[in-house]
């Protein structure tokens, strides 16, 4: 077949075109080198796009029914012994869960830990002002204020990178 193409090219006055381009020639060597570094490369299959954050709802059993609350509706989560209190603008609910477990589950939804017993929804923060002994006072939607302990002050600083006009916050 290649000879037939070669004679047709010659008859037409064209040079024989290379069968492979330079990139195509180097591709098998590159794949082999990558497969040597990571065995997963050799088994590459395209995967469907998986969302980073699954849409979830928090299920709370109350008065004989199960209430499903989206995480965005929660202003703050406060520890109450073996329970957590989920604060919403109009009401609050107790849930039997540890504050550490809630922090891990809600971190992907914009909740930050500001105290050993408090998580706040970062989208609900309205005001932050420094206290007298190195802590901060944080006010959320609805006027509720929480103390940000020195231990968790760095959580505010990492969150401040996404805010506009936070140069002065970074220096304090």
pLDDT by residue (tens digit) across 47-74?
555 555 566 888 888 888 999 999 999 9
Residue 1: predicted pLDDT? 52
Q: Is residue 33 part of a domain?
A: yes
What Å distances lie between residue 83 and 68, 111, 138, CA to CA? Answer: 18, 18, 23
Q: Are residues 62 and 103 in the same domain?
A: yes
Q: Are residues 82 and 129 in the same domain?
A: yes
Other CB atoms within a 10 A radius of the CB of residue 12 amount to 7
Average model confidence (pLDDT) across the chain: 77
Q: Is residue 53 part of a domain?
A: no
Q: Is residue 139 part of a domain?
A: yes
Domain limits at 116?
58-171
Q: Is residue 48 part of a domain?
A: no
Q: What contacts 119, CB < 8 A, 6 or more positions away?
A: 76, 77, 78, 99, 102, 103, 106, 111, 112, 113
What Å distances lie between residue 87 and 31, 95, 119, 121, CA to CA? Answer: 53, 11, 10, 10
Q: Is residue 23 part of a domain?
A: yes
Q: Are residues 13 and 95 in the same domain?
A: no
Residue 43: predicted pLDDT? 52
Give the Cα separation of 38 and 22 in Å (integer): 25
**C-alpha triplet 81, 87, 92: angle, nearest 5°:** 80
Q: Is residue 52 part of a domain?
A: no
Q: Are residues 37 and 89 in the same domain?
A: no
- pLDDT(21) > 70: no
Contact assessment for residue 41 and residue 34, using Cβ atoms and an 8 Å cutoff:
yes
Residue 115: predicted pLDDT? 93
Residue 42: predicted pLDDT? 45
Residue 154: predicted pLDDT? 85
Give the Cα separation of 118 and 73 in Å (integer): 16
Q: Are residues 13 and 82 in the same domain?
A: no
Q: Are residues 79 and 125 in the same domain?
A: yes
Give this prediction's pTM.
Answer: 0.63
85 three-state secondary structure? strand
* Long-range pairs for 134-141: beta carbons < 8 A, 24 or more residues apart: 138/114, 140/75, 140/76, 141/75, 141/89
Q: Are residues 153 and 70 in the same domain?
A: yes
What is the pLDDT confidence band of residue 108, given thresholds at 50, 70 and 90? confident
- pLDDT(94) > 70: yes
Residue 79: predicted pLDDT? 96
pLDDT in tens, 131-163: 888 788 999 999 999 999 888 888 887 667 666
Q: What contacts 27, CB < 8 A, 6 or more positions away?
A: none
Q: Is residue 47 part of a domain?
A: no
Q: Are residues 128 and 163 in the same domain?
A: yes
Residue 56: predicted pLDDT? 82
DSSP run (H or E) holding 102:
helix 99-106
- The mean pLDDT of 80-98, rounded to a whole number, is 92
Q: Is residue 25 part of a domain?
A: yes
Of 30 and 43, which is predicted with more confidence? 30
CATH number of the domain at 115, please: 2.40.50.1020
Q: Are residues 135 and 163 in the same domain?
A: yes
The total number of structural domains in the chain stands at 2
């Amino acid at each position: 077949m290649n000879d037939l193409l070669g004679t047709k090219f010659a008859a037409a006055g064209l040079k024989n075109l290379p069968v492979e381009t330079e990139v195509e020639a180097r591709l098998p060597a590159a794949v082999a080198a990558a497969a040597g570094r990571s065995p997963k490369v050799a088994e590459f299959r395209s995967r469907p796009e998986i969302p980073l954050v699954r849409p979830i709802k928090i299920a709370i059993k109350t008065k004989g029914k199960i209430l499903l609350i989206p995480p965005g509706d929660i202003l703050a989560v406060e520890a109450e012994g073996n329970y957590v209190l989920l604060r919403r603008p109009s009401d609050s609910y107790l849930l039997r869960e540890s504050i550490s477990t809630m922090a891990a589950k809600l971190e992907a939804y914009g909740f930050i830990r500001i105290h050993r017993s408090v998580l706040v929804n970062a989208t609900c923060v309205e005001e932050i002002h420094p206290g007298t002994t190195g802590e901060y006072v944080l006010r959320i939607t609805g006027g509720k204020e929480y103390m940000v302990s020195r231990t968790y002050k760095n959580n505010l600083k990492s969150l401040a990178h996404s805010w506009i006009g936070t140069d002065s916050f970074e220096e304090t």
